[in-house]
Chain A
Amino acid sequence: METVLISVLNGLVYGMLLFMLASGLTLIFSMMGVLNFAHASIYMLGAYLAFTVSEFLGFFPALIIAPILCGLIGAAIEIWGLRKVHHNGHIAELLFTFGLVFIIQRLVQMTWGMLPMAYRVPAVLDFPLFALYGVNFPAYRGFMLLVSACMLLGTWLLLKKTRIGLIIQAALTHPSMVSALGHNVPMVFTTVFAGGCLLAGLAGVIGGNYQTTEPGMADSMGPIVFVVVVFGGLGSLAGCFIASIVMGMIQTFAVVVDYSVADLLRPLGVVLSGDTLLTEVLTVPVARIGALLPFVMMVTILFFRPRGLMGTRDA
């Protein structure tokens, strides 16, 4: 019971972090049709920038400044890069972001070096918030939940209550119609791209000290964010939210399950022995392949439902 409750909490924190990254990507992806490979690189930039800013000004100013910097970088990428590639088609755009990954990674290495940064949780938030069955729940994780909840609320208000939000929403589902109505679609694109990068940067700021800030962090976060976006479905922030939480939960819960296919077969009278490839595959406990489950789920859902969980149109 206690493991379940703790896993739920942890899954929630991780899921919210994923959502912060994935929501921006979903917006970009749904609107521009571009799977932005460099999204996780912006997340990494957010963490590094936050580290540098917090060296001078402290953590809380960094929480504001670093995401804004990331947003500006995103706007620059859109205006001087993506927009020029746009007329060459989606694959060209996708490949453009693909090239960015190499460049950002090496730039980060050249600027900050190759070693992990000593980017730490601020002292103010470095205490256990409460204890649950003897396991502490650190205040910083609560803070992460708070920040992501605020972000969720903010995005929701922006999309539902403002004019630009209305246009973005319309562009999510009917991009061509919106431009036909005479809206400045390139401008909307830039806004969305910058906004998405801002959110990724924010995720970097609070994720960078929760995890570690190092040049490999983009590589390790990238694929899973894709999975969330695709699983959630095109054009649906709600689907993205559900997918994030589900993926967060799955990864934390899978660790707790120690059963394998062989254990399932045992009651049926099948006993595996020997040292063959088949036994090797069937006796792998779920905990060992926990991190792979998202990929399995993604392949499964796309196979049956190419638009993803709550997508409004086919990917």
Chain B
Amino acid sequence: MTSLIRRLGFAFVVLSLAAVARPVWAQDTIKVAYVDPFSGPFASGGDEFLKVFGYILQKVNADGGALGKKFEIVPFDDKLQPAEALIALKNITDQNIPFVMQCTGSNVGAALVDGVSKHNARNPDNRILYLNCGALATELTNEQCDFWQFRFTGNVEMRAAARIKALPKDITKVYLLNQDYLFGQSVQHDTRKWLAKLRPDIQIVGDELMPFGKVQDFSSYVAKIKASGAQSVITGNYNRDLNLLIKAAVDDGLNVRFDTYLAHLIGGPTAIGAAGENRLSTITEFDPNVPVELKKPDAEAFSNGWRANHETDFSEIPFLTMFQMLAKAIDKAGSTDALKVALALEDMKATDMVGFPVQMRKEDHQLLMPYYAATFSRDVKYDAEKTGFGWKTDFIATTEDLTLPTSCKMKRPAS
């Protein structure tokens, strides 16, 4: 029995060491940890983003990186579960990695904001910055804002403002359909708020929450939308919940616009296909046709470089902005110390790849950035996911348009 225990113990130690013994090279690169789901049903998002980061880093590193060192991404699988993300965070701080990024899920985002904040308070000698590149919940830079979080993507309210500004003038009746969880509910809330503010002429003829990921058959929703006489469905649905809705609508001959927030997400264009032509609109951070329309050959070349080797589209311009700003901040701070970099990032102004000004606001650490409203159309230079349809920009919400007030009361570190 004792020999067995010894053997088990040995196996245990070896396995644990194997898990920990990722070689910590002497600091010849600047490591950035990347926490997202890489296994299970949500793996497609993390997987795609990891490829995008790889592509972006080629450029950022070719431009010189920061402090003469190159950036390196260290991925960690969080399985889209907060507890797993927090375990990964421990692993990251053990390895003295000063930055952690996370781009999928507000549940994990909220956990990281809180976890990073507590970690930094309790371990002042080993602080870490949370670079939020995709947890969208408005609260994260309002009620729950934190000094150690920097959000490099627009929150739900910014997207809602862009969404409503981009609505065609002739629309008078809209139907709101959203998923029944935090994201969908905040889309619903912020859409209503901005409709009241900007378009009092529009009547909301239906406002509904549907179970998240549980609905198999959307035809009864379609019948309801039809009966309401709406001209447009404004929805924060994405992936399956959006694809099935639009399919059902086309099948049933429902002729309305779909003004969505996230139709451009990876896989969406493939799944929707011709069903979305000229009636599907989305709010993007970038799409390959933007540089064509704005005549920016550099940006076009950059997005073409991605297109040459991938089936998907490059739309993650904030990821690039994030690394460029991070590199600048590290250079300015002269080190990768989390506090110094954080102070350098605050109020930093930059220009994104297309040429629009962006700014990291000091009050809430929210990146102020532009958004594009685009329609799914045949009439574009670059199609999306090789479907024959692409995103045609019809409205640009500028950075000034989307500079919204914040309720953040940030606790700043003493030093």
Distance of A155 from chain B, by nearest CB (Å)? 22
Instruction: Judge whether B209 and A135 touch: CB under 8 Å.
Output: no
In-complex Cβ contact of A136 among B43, B227, B252 (8 A): B252
In-complex Cβ contact of B216 among A14, A120, A134, A216 (8 A): A14
Take A109-B43, A290-B211 as given contacts and tell me if A214 and B216 are in contact as well, using a CB distance cutoff of 8 Å.
no
Instruction: Judge whether B253 and A224 touch: CB under 8 Å.
Output: no
Complex CA distance for A217 and B241, rounded to whole angstroms:
12
Take A10-B217, A211-B244, A288-B211 as given contacts and tell me if A114 and B227 are in contact as well, using a CB distance cutoff of 8 Å.
no
Instruction: Judge whether B240 and A135 touch: CB under 8 Å.
Output: no
Within 8 A of B (CB), among A259-304: 287-292
Instruction: Judge whether A134 and B217 touch: CB under 8 Å.
Output: no
Complex CA distance for A211 and B219, rounded to whole angstroms:
11
Residue B202 CB within 8 A of the other chain? no
Distance of B186 from chain A, by nearest CB (Å)? 16
Residue B208 CB within 8 A of the other chain? yes
Instruction: Judge whether B216 and A251 touch: CB under 8 Å.
Output: yes
Take A114-B43, A255-B224 as given contacts and tell me if A136 and B270 are in contact as well, using a CB distance cutoff of 8 Å.
no
Residue B143 CB within 8 A of the other chain? no
Complex CA distance for A231 and B253, rounded to whole angstroms:
34
Closest to B271 in A: A116
Complex CA distance for A276 and B209, rounded to whole angstroms:
19
- Chain A residues positioned under 8 Å from B270 (CB to CB): 115-118
- Chain A residues positioned under 8 Å from B213 (CB to CB): 216, 220
- Chain B residues positioned under 8 Å from A114 (CB to CB): 43-44, 47-48
Complex CA distance for A134 and B223, rounded to whole angstroms:
10
- Chain A residues positioned under 8 Å from B210 (CB to CB): 255, 287-288, 290-291
Instruction: Judge whether A135 and B273 touch: CB under 8 Å.
Output: no
CB-defined interface of A181-220 with B at 8 Å, one 1/0 digit per residue? 0000000000000000000000000000011101111011
- Chain A residues positioned under 8 Å from B43 (CB to CB): 109, 114
Closest to A223 in B: B214
Instruction: Judge whether A287 and B244 touch: CB under 8 Å.
Output: no
Within 8 A of A (CB), among B195-223: 208-211, 213-217, 219-223
Distance of A20 from chain B, by nearest CB (Å)? 13
- Chain A residues positioned under 8 Å from B406 (CB to CB): none
Residue A256 CB within 8 A of the other chain? yes
Within 8 A of A (CB), among B261-301: 266-267, 270-271, 273
Residue A131 CB within 8 A of the other chain? yes
Complex CA distance for A72 and B271, rounded to whole angstroms:
29
Residue A241 CB within 8 A of the other chain? no
Residue B393 CB within 8 A of the other chain? no
Closest to B275 in A: A120
Distance of A45 from chain B, by nearest CB (Å)? 16
Take A115-B44, A219-B41 as given contacts and tell me if A141 and B251 are in contact as well, using a CB distance cutoff of 8 Å.
yes
Instruction: Judge whether B208 and A287 touch: CB under 8 Å.
Output: yes
Complex CA distance for A115 and B272, rounded to whole angstroms:
13
Distance of A288 from chain B, by nearest CB (Å)? 5
Distance of B238 from chain A, by nearest CB (Å)? 12
- Chain B residues positioned under 8 Å from A290 (CB to CB): 210-211, 215
CB-defined interface of A10-23 with B at 8 Å, one 1/0 digit per residue? 11011000000000
Distance of B302 from chain A, by nearest CB (Å)? 23
Residue B254 CB within 8 A of the other chain? yes
Instruction: Judge whether A253 and B220 touch: CB under 8 Å.
Output: yes
Instruction: Judge whether A10 and B41 touch: CB under 8 Å.
Output: no
Distance of B256 from chain A, by nearest CB (Å)? 13
Complex CA distance for A212 and B215, rounded to whole angstroms:
12
- Chain A residues positioned under 8 Å from B312 (CB to CB): 115
Residue B119 CB within 8 A of the other chain? no
Instruction: Judge whether A220 and B211 touch: CB under 8 Å.
Output: no
Closest to A207 in B: B216
In-complex Cβ contact of A212 among B220, B240, B387 (8 A): B240
CB-defined interface of B291-334 with A at 8 Å, one 1/0 digit per residue? 00000000000000000000110000000000000000000000
- Chain B residues positioned under 8 Å from A145 (CB to CB): none
Residue A179 CB within 8 A of the other chain? no
- Chain A residues positioned under 8 Å from B311 (CB to CB): 115
Complex CA distance for A140 and B271, rounded to whole angstroms:
17
- Chain B residues positioned under 8 Å from A214 (CB to CB): 239-240, 267, 271
Instruction: Judge whether A14 and B226 touch: CB under 8 Å.
Output: no
Instruction: Judge whether A212 and B252 touch: CB under 8 Å.
Output: no
In-complex Cβ contact of B223 among A6, A116, A210, A211 (8 A): A6
Complex CA distance for A292 and B215, rounded to whole angstroms:
10
- Chain B residues positioned under 8 Å from A217 (CB to CB): 240
Residue B180 CB within 8 A of the other chain? yes
Instruction: Judge whether A212 and B244 touch: CB under 8 Å.
Output: yes
- Chain B residues positioned under 8 Å from A131 (CB to CB): 253
Complex CA distance for A3 and B225, rounded to whole angstroms:
11
CB-defined interface of A132-165 with B at 8 Å, one 1/0 digit per residue? 0011111011000000000000000000000000
Residues in chain B within 8 A of chain A (CB atoms): 41, 43-44, 47-48, 180, 208-211, 213-217, 219-224, 226-227, 239-240, 243-244, 247, 251-254, 266-267, 270-271, 273, 311-312, 387
**Can you name 10 A-B residue pairings with CB atoms under 8 Å?**
A7-B220, A10-B219, A115-B267, A116-B267, A128-B253, A137-B252, A211-B244, A220-B240, A251-B216, A289-B211
Which 4 residue pairs are nearest across A and B when measured between Cβ atoms? A136-B253, A114-B44, A291-B214, A10-B219
Known pairs A212-B243, A220-B214, A287-B210; list 7 more (Cβ under 8 Å): A114-B43, A115-B311, A134-B253, A135-B253, A136-B251, A211-B240, A252-B217
